[in-house]
Structure 1
């Protein structure tokens, strides 16, 4: 299997490194719009999952701006990234390659969580927590939506 076929999974893992719930929220939004994912995951068809993922994605965007927000590399933050990246990576992988998609997404998300945290801390020292968070949000949400849209567009062609 060429690694190019798993590129969407790798990229969604990078998104999960910065915002753990954005991959799931992006997929949930696309599923609500009637789009299909390349990978087959029945969890994505459950209304509770779709609305829950979107609510958690929005909640994370607000929670990140709080002074008491924990670093993304604490155990709970890494666990959320592993779960989200794994599910999203599997969903965006070609049918039959869901396990490989989950694996590469998680393998991308965890180490990059440390890199994106370091970058965020540098930005916070220069422009503050809220402003750096809003910029990071815009970049990460746009990337998540674009990756999901491109992966799902390929399944319709």
Structure 2
């Protein structure tokens, strides 16, 4: 369940990162074949598309006009992507629990991350705090998607 928790943390900050992480895992053959849409995430076009959307989300986050992550549409995106990725990364037979863990973690961390970011923003500015947050989110997403990294840490 650690992988589902980690992907939930990442989704709480950047809603598209779970899809990019799954695409990366799919390209490496690290997704279960019986996972719904597994073939889709193994497709190079879909994989690059997910990465591109994730990069666009990260770039957009640095704009002054970027909406807060806790607006309803942002929470809806995080709910869907985290639940799907959490289920995909959970052990077989525990996918519903994995989805719930990732979803709960994503929603809780959205609010916590938003509060931390707002406090940091006042001191360090939007761009600097965004890049630090992006680095943490990317590291978390990569760790969640790579079972070898999570096993080493456990």
* TM norm. shorter chain > 0.5: yes
1:65-104 aligned within 5 A? 65-104=62-101
The residue number in structure 1 matching 2:30 is 36
Tell me the equivalent position of 1:53: 50
In the alignment, structure 2 segments of 5+ residues that lack a partner are: none
Does residue 147 of the first structure (1) align with residue 144 of the second (2)? Answer: yes
Structure 1 residues 152 and 126, CA, compared in 2 at 3 Å: closer, same or farther?
Answer: closer
Deviations 1:100-151 (A, max 9, x none): 1111110111121000000011111110000000010011101110121136
Where structure 1 has 5 or more consecutive residues not aligned to the other structure, the ranges are: 1-5
> TM-score with structure 1 length normalisation?
0.86
Q: How many residue pairs get matched?
A: 148
Two-structure CA RMSD over aligned residues (Å): 1.9
> Which of residues 1, 7, 11 in structure 2 aligns to 1:12?
7
**TM-score, normalised relative to structure 2:** 0.87
CA distance, structure 2, for counterparts of residue 66 and residue 149 of structure 1: 31
Divergent runs of 4+, >4 A = 151-154
Choose 134-143 or 43-52, whichever is displaced more. Answer: 43-52
CA contact (8 A) 1:8 1:151 kept: no
Residue aligned with 1:20, SS: coil
Residue number in structure 1 paired with 2:106:
109
Q: C-alpha offsets along residues 55-92 of structure 1, whole Å, 9 cap, x if unaligned?
A: 21111111100110000000110011001101110111
